[in-house]
């Protein structure tokens, strides 16, 4: 058996890549066309067994905000192996080669949406963000304090609204955490992509009393097959929700509730866990709030990754990474010194204040969990409580990590 690990070379190999992705994720080739069309062959790492493609992986060259700082990350996608080639270690070889390529390209972080968390934790990924969604009847989703927003909302087509929405998103994510810098292609294949071909995605823009755009919704409306008449039976599906201030948030929420024929509003996976709606509604239970895992992150190069994000306070910390067999150069003890905005890191002979796997370091760097939380879960060993307190202060982020895009 001959195994070859490399990138795709031409359109023919990309067609094989697309077929494997469609099979693995039980999707039609038509539905994966847009994603594959935006994937360059040299962004892939695949395994061939005796000349036949068996395993696929793509890596988008993303820039992602990490506690407000722009950071180069590899957006891992389209990971799959045909069933007859599984349990042979092919994905491990592909993943390891992919990490080496990311490191060469200056991508010290890898991020992905996991089809199964169990697959990726063994490759060093740690949970970096959770997501929250709502499904509610808009008639019962009033705010406890019903003061009206002073501005107004204008309905636009996706074509007319896109330039405004794009600029609002850029402003919105400037200080955020794990939000991707959206290319036009990413807008097209994700936030502005209708559920069915030929469908319409609308953009509603909130402007304040001075006429300044301060927020937008991207959404589509369809008949909801789960709601029987009589009564409102439309589904209002939110695909993007951006508000630069609370007036915009209230104005857009009120706009949603003005759709009298809508029986259900669904905001699925587009919200961070610190979204304010549960704190604002008269009866928060009507949201039917649900949470789940979202982005998983992998540190490809510890020394390059750690200084790239701002920290929550001034201080220093020694920590040790052990057991990283996928990126063995990460193993060792490090001294982190930061004044908050700028950080230096170097290897050290000092005793480690924290000892952890690379998975837990990813969770810390994303700000998804505190060091104290991870220590209580047995995922970090700490020399003492004071060290945990220092780590909690340093790794704190301004906003909860959240990625409002699938890829």
Residue 1 pLDDT: 84
Please give the distance of CA 316 from its chain centroid, rounded to a whole number.
Answer: 29
pLDDT for position 354: 98
Into how many domains does the chain fold?
Answer: 3
Do β-strands 202-207 and 109-113 pair in parallel, antiparallel, or remain unpaired? unpaired
Does 228 share its domain with 308?
A: no
75 shares a domain with 35:
yes
Average pLDDT on 186-192 reads: 94
Q: Are residues 331 and 361 in the same domain?
A: yes
Whether the per-residue pLDDT at 35 is higher than 80: the answer is no
DSSP one-letter string for 310-332: --SSSEEEEEEE---SSSGGG-E
Residues 168/216, Cβ–Cβ less than 8 Å: yes
- 385-395 and 358-366 are packed helices; what angle lies between their axes, rounded to 10 degrees? 50
Residue 30 shares a structural domain with residue 56: yes
The whole-number pLDDT of residue 2 equals 95
* Residue linked to tokens 């029986």: 263
Tokens of 230: 């009589």
pLDDT tens digits, 321-342: 999 999 999 999 999 999 999 9
| Cα 3 from Cα 93, distance rounded (Å) | 10
Q: Are residues 173 and 102 in the same domain?
A: no
Same domain, 88 and 178: no
pLDDT band at 148 (very low <50, low <70, confident <90, very high): confident
Calculate the CA dihedral of residues 166, 168, 174, 177 and round it to 10 degrees: -80
Distance CA 34, CA 54 (A): 22
Asked if 261 and 391 sit in the same domain, the reply is no
In a domain, 405, yes or no: no
Got the DSSP string for 227-270? -PSSS--EEEEEEEEEESSHHHHHHHHHHHHT-TTEEEEEEEEE
Categorize the per-residue pLDDT at 402 as very low, low, confident or very high, splitting at 50, 70 and 90: very high
Place of tokens 């690990």: 5
Q: Among 291, 322, 350, where does a domain finish?
A: 291
Find all residues with CB under 8 Å of 25, minimum gap 6, and list them: 32, 80, 115
What pLDDT score was predicted for residue 219? 98
Helix (H) / strand (E) element for 380: namely strand 380-382
Buried b / exposed e across 280-304, counting CB within 10 Å, b at 16+?
A: bbeeeebbebeeeebbbbbbbbbeb
Mean pLDDT of 224-238: 90
Whether the predicted pLDDT of 268 surpasses 90: no
Query: Are 206 and 252 within one domain?
Result: yes
- Tokens 């808009």 belong to 138
| Confidence band for 29, pLDDT divided at 50, 70 and 90 | low
End residue of a domain, out of 291, 312, 327: 291
Cβ neighbors of 334 (< 8 A, separation 6 or more) are: 302, 303, 306, 318, 319, 320, 321, 345, 346, 347, 348
Bridge partner list, 190: none
218 and 352 part of one domain: no
> 191-208 b/e with 16+ CB inside 10 Å = b?
bbbeeeeeeebbbbbbbb
Distance between CA 218 and CA 201 in Å, rounded? 7
Same domain, 137 and 246: yes
Q: What is the CATH number of the domain that holds 275?
A: 3.40.630.30
> What is the biggest distance separating any 2 CA atoms in the chain, rounded to whole angstroms?
72
Residue carrying structure tokens 């990754």: 305
Instruction: Indicate the residue among 291, 325, 343 that finishes a domain.
Output: 291
The CATH number given to whatever domain includes residue 376 is 3.30.1050.10
Q: In terms of domains, do 161 and 243 share one? A: yes
Whether the predicted pLDDT of 66 surpasses 90: yes
DSSP 189: I
Nearest by Cα to 182 from 133, 126, 239, 135: 239
Looking at the structure, tell me whether residues 285 and 311 fall in a common domain. Answer: no
Please report, rounded to a whole number, the percentage of residues in the chain having pLDDT higher than 90. Answer: 92
Tell me, yes or no, whether 116 lies in a domain: no
User: Residues 183-212: what's their mean pLDDT?
Assistant: 95
CA angle 291–294–300, rounded 5-degree value:
150
Top-confidence residue, 196 or 4: 4
Q: Distance between CA atoms of 142 and 224, rounded to whole angstroms?
A: 22
Average pLDDT rounded to a whole number, residues 154-173: 98
Sheet harboring 343-347: ordered strands across? 343-347, 332-338, 315-321, 354-356, 380-382
Residue 140 lies in a domain: yes
Give the tens place of pLDDT for each residue, 271-312: 999 999 999 999 999 999 999 999 999 999 999 999 999 999
Residue 374: pLDDT band (50, 70, 90) is: very high
- For residue 30, what pLDDT is reported? 65
Would you say residue 403 lies in a domain? no
Is 117 within the bounds of a domain?
no
112 lies in some domain? no
Task: Quote the domain boundaries for residue 182.
Answer: 132-291
């Amino acid at each position: 058996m001959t195994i070859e690990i490399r990138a795709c070379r031409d359109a023919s190999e990309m067609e094989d890549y697309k077929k494997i992705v469609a099979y693995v994720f039980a999707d039609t080739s038509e539905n994966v066309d847009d994603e594959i069309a935006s994937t360059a062959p040299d962004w892939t790492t695949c395994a061939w067994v005796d000349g036949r493609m068996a395993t696929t992986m793509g890596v988008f060259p993303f820039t992602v905000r990490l506690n407000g700082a722009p950071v180069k990350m590899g957006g891992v996608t389209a990971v799959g192996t045909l069933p007859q080639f599984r349990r042979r270690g092919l994905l491990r070889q592909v993943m390891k080669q992919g990490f080496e390529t990311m490191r060469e390209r200056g991508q010290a972080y890898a991020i992905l949406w996991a089809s199964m968390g169990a697959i990726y934790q063994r490759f060093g990924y740690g949970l970096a963000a959770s997501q929250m969604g709502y499904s509610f009847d808009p008639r019962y989703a009033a705010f406890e304090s019903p003061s009206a927003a002073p501005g107004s909302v204008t309905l636009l087509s996706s074509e007319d609204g896109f330039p405004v929405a794009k600029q609002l998103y850029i402003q919105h994510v400037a200080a955020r955490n794990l939000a991707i810098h959206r290319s036009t292609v990413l807008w097209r294949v994700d936030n502005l992509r209708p559920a069915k071909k030929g469908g319409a995605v609308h953009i509603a823009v909130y402007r304040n009393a001075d006429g300044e755009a301060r927020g937008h919704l991207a959404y589509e409306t369809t008949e909801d097959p789960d709601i029987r008449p009589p009564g409102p039976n439309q589904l209002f599906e939110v695909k993007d929700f951006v508000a630069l201030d609370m007036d915009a948030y209230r104005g857009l929420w009120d706009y949603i509730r003005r759709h009298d024929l809508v029986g259900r509003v669904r905001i699925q996976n587009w919200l961070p866990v610190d979204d304010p709606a549960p704190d604002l509604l008269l009866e928060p239970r009507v949201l039917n709030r649900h949470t789940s895992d979202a982005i998983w992150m992998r540190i490809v190069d510890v020394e390059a990754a750690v200084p790239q994000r701002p920290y929550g306070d001034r201080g220093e910390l020694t920590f040790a990474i052990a057991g990283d067999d996928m990126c063995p150069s990460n193993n060792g003890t490090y001294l982190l010194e930061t004044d908050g905005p700028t950080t230096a890191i170097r290897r050290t002979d000092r005793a480690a204040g924290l000892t952890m796997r690379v998975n837990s370091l990813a969770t810390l760097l994303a700000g998804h969990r505190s060091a104290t939380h991870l220590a209580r879960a047995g995922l970090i060993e700490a020399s003492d409580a004071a060290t945990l307190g220092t780590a909690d202060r340093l790794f704190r982020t301004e906003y909860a990590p959240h990625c409002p895009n699938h890829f």
